[in-house]
Amino acid sequence: MPPRPLGVAMIGYEFMGRAHSNSWRNVDAFFDVPHFERRVIVGRDADRVEAAASQLGWPEWATDWREAIARDDVDIVDICAPGWLHAEIAIAALAAGKHVLVEKPLSNTLAESAAMVDAARAARLAGVQSMIGFNYRRVPALALARQLIADGRLGDVRQVRASYLQDWLTDAEAPMTWRLRRETAGSGSLGDIASHVIDQVMHLLGDTVTEVSGRLHTYTTERPGPDGPEAVTVDDAAWATLGLAGGAIASVEVSRVALGAKNSLRLEIYGSAGSLRFDLERLNELEFLDGNEPLQTQGFRRIVVTEPEHPYLSGWWPQGHVLGWEHSHTHQIRDFLLHIASGTAPEPSFESGLAVQQVLDAIEQSAASNGTIISI
């Protein structure tokens, strides 16, 4: 008899839970992956998680994540809960021999992240895999950008301009949420979206950050809460200058109050032999300038990243048919399953998540000391 399918438990059912559920539902329809079955979705509110299970296609639901990871028919735990829950759930799941995928950021504190790395290393020795969900690594255009940089098409990368701007908190009367409380979110735009930017800078360049200067700002310091006005204890926007080991300098800007920017992750990478530009609001496109072309014809050209030869595209539609944001999560699940099957450690690892957390922590330290340069 063949081995039974891998059983999946997912913790959380809101925004990220919906995105991951869509990926678990679709990944084996488009990619050749190990056989798996969705077992159970977990949330604290019984009525809401039961409704989510019905809507999102999970056959069972539970309100206790400990119950889920104790099940013999669960092999993979997908953690989509808020950051303050990541460490406890991930460490327990790894100790129980479950493969773990956890959404970014890795956790809310450096100490928790370090403990998660220790747990992941110990589990890896027993063949138990773990990965952090930086899904933008799986956007085909950004995967192509990394290939071009690794192939030397940009020469020596000199500088990077990276921003991630949103506007969902522009209205000062927008209600209080867990994302605006330090005790539950850890930080504001810094952990929420700067984590993506910093991971992209290091991943695309294959480099590490060695020094940081940063600034944080909160524009709306109080918002309507369930019992009246409540203090906002995290940042609305953040700025940083990063020095990388290879000599490149990166400028980073993130905001959740940038009116008109819906989900604009923009990257500009300038090298000695070429340059790249990308905007998530046009995620099927990558702009590339080849500095070796004659000046008369040199300039950015638009690459529509929808060909079967492009990363991940062979599993989808005929050439020229565009993908969306949700596909990056499907690619993420695909890669995670393939690494579990091969017994190889996937990326981004918990160690990569910790490296991002160290940069975020250094930005906070720098901001608290008026922009002092912090070495990592």
pLDDT at 2: 52
Query: Which domains does the chain show, CATH number per domain?
Result: 6-135 (3.40.50.720), 140-324+355-368 (3.30.360.10)
Q: Which residues pair with 229 in a beta bridge?
A: 224
List per-residue pLDDT tens for the chain, 376 residues long: 458 999 999 999 999 999 999 999 999 999 999 999 999 999 999 999 999 999 999 999 999 999 999 999 999 999 999 999 999 999 999 999 999 999 999 999 999 999 999 999 999 999 999 999 999 999 999 999 999 999 999 999 999 999 999 999 999 999 999 999 999 999 999 999 999 999 999 999 999 999 999 999 999 999 999 999 999 999 999 999 999 999 999 999 999 999 999 999 999 999 999 999 999 999 999 999 999 999 999 999 999 999 999 999 999 999 999 999 999 999 999 999 999 999 999 999 999 999 999 999 999 999 999 999 999 9
Burial bucket for residue 178 (CB in 10 Å: 0-12, 13-18, 19+): exposed
Distance CA 86, CA 116 (A): 9
pTM higher than the cut 0.75: yes
Strands 36-42 and 6-11: parallel
Burial bucket for residue 63 (CB in 10 Å: 0-12, 13-18, 19+): middle
Cis peptide leading into residue 3 (ω within 30°)? no
299's tokens: 């300039």
Residue whose pair of structure tokens reads 């509110």 in the numeric block:
45
In this structure, are residues 360 and 109 in contact, taking their beta carbons and an 8 Å threshold? no
Q: DSSP alpha helices (H): ranges in the chain?
A: 15-30, 46-56, 65-69, 86-95, 110-125, 140-150, 182-185, 189, 195-205, 325-342, 350-368
Q: Is the dihedral of CA 73, 38, 53, 136 positive or negative?
A: positive
pLDDT at 323: 97
In this structure, are residues 243 and 142 in contact, taking their beta carbons and an 8 Å threshold? no
pLDDT at 3: 81
Q: How far apart are the first and last CA of the chain?
A: 52
